[in-house]
Every structure is written in structure tokens, then in C-alpha cells.
Amino acid sequence: MSAITITEAAQDYLAGLLEKQNTPGIGIRIFITQPGTQYAETCIAYCKPGEQKPEDTSFGLKDFTAWIDAISEPFLEDAIVDYAQDRMGGQLTIKAPNAKVPMISEDSPISERINYYLQTEINPGLASHGGMVSLVEVVEDGVAVLRFGGGCQGCGQVDLTLKDGVERTLIERIPDLKGVRDVTDHSNRENAYY
């Protein structure tokens, strides 16, 4: 069972909403956008069969299945989804006390800190262009070697994006990082986003 609690009242309310979708096997997916940052938002979305991601954790509730996003899961520790009746009818509430808590510390290895900021701050911004960045290695002089994938590959803007956004963010967050380098060959423009 996941670290998240979905109360009976919330389950009944969600089951009612799901029933109205007229989609056999539909469930919910719980995820956090920008987890571990002050912008973290906990979201519940409809999840039709097959829409969940392979790395999601599923847990079966009495009327439906809830899927938990793998990256968000540690941030959903102690989260409670509840449904509270009030004069206006009622509302679903999500309390996720750890959603904004960074899962790394100053003492975490530099590669873990880089990966953390790539996942929580940089990739969510690049996703709108179909791009993503991953860490290849940290070389001895404190330089992170990054690989750009998706729409960033072969994009003429990549030097700008890389030097400006990604490098600035990472150096701001990780003072012992000296800079970033790109391993991707940007001559491949097949999937480029302009």
C-alpha cells in the first residue's frame, strides 16, 4: 500500500465522478507537478485504462484503481485525500505535507542533486517543447555532462537553453557545480522544435 491515504468519503466521491465518465476500468492518477519545489501542486486526474505510465505504482481501492506517479511518490508520503461536506455541497481536499520538501540535502552526492533539480525544475519546463535533459556524468572538474533528448535534440536554440536556463538554474542550486556541457550531437534535426 502506498504512503498516501484516500479516505472512504473521498473514495465514494471519486467513484461517483468516475461512474459519470462511462469508461470501463477508468481510475485516477495522482501526481505532483514540480515536486520538492515551492511550486509543487498535487493533482488528481482521470486515468483511462492504458493511460498510466509503466513505472506508476497502482493500488486497488474498493471501486477503482489509483495510480501513483513514480517521481511524485516519495513526496506523497503522509498525503491525505479527503472529501469534506460543507454548506455549498462539498469538496475534495488533498493535503500533501511533503510535496514541497526537497528529497535531497547539501550532503547528497552532486549527481543526486543535479538529477533532483533536472526532474523537479528543469524537465517540467522543457516538457512543453517535448524535450528533456538527463545527467550523463559529472566530470572531475565539477562540470555536469548532460544529454538533451526529445525536441531539444537538433534544436537551434539548444545552446541558448543549455547555457542560459539549465546551467544558471543548476549553478544557483548547487554552488559546487562549475558548469554544464552537452553530449548530444545537434546535427540530428529530425525531431526538432522551432
Q: Which residues span the domain enclosing 130?
A: 108-180
Query: 113 and 78 share a domain?
Result: no
Question: H/E element holding 19?
Answer: helix 8-20
Q: What is the pLDDT of residues 59-80, one digit of tens each?
A: 999 999 999 999 899 999 999 9
* pLDDT tens, position by position, 94-108: 999 999 888 888 888
pLDDT at residue 163, as a whole number: 57
Write down the pLDDT at residue 24. Answer: 95
Largest CA distance in the chain: 62
Residues 87 and 112 reside in one and the same domain: no
Residue 155 in marked binding region:
yes
* pLDDT band (50, 70, 90) for residue 109: confident
Average pLDDT, stretch 74-96? 90
152 assigned ligand-binding residue: yes
**CATH at residue 166:** 3.30.300.130
CA 183 vs CA 34, 113, 130, 194: distances in Å: 25, 20, 18, 21
Q: Which residues contact 80 (CB under 8 A, 6 or more apart)?
A: 4, 5, 6, 7, 94, 95
Whether residue 98 is contained in a domain is answered as no
pLDDT tens across 179-188, in order?
A: 888 876 555 5
Between residues 173 and 128, which one has the greater pLDDT? 173
CB-based contact 61:79 (threshold 8 Å): no
Could you tell me if residue 48 is inside a domain?
A: yes
In a domain, 13, yes or no: yes
Q: Does 161 have pLDDT greater than 70? A: no
**pLDDT tier, 55 (very low <50, low <70, confident <90, very high otherwise):** very high
Task: Look at residue 147 in the predicted model and tell me its pLDDT.
Answer: 85
Is position 153 within any domain? yes
pTM: 0.61
Tell me: do 63 and 118 sit in the same domain.
no
Judgement on whether residues 74 and 42 belong to the same structural domain of the protein:
yes
Instruction: State yes or no: pLDDT of 140 exceeds 90.
Output: no
Residue 176 backbone dihedrals phi, psi, to 5 degrees: -85, 5
pLDDT in tens, 9-29: 999 999 999 999 999 999 999
> In the chain, how many domains are there?
2
Q: Which pLDDT score, from 0 to 100, does residue 12 have?
A: 96
Q: Are residues 14 and 87 in the same domain?
A: yes
The CATH number covering residue 15 comes to 2.60.300.12
pLDDT higher at 33 or 46: 46
Report yes or no on 132 lying in a domain.
Answer: yes
What average pLDDT does the chain have? 85
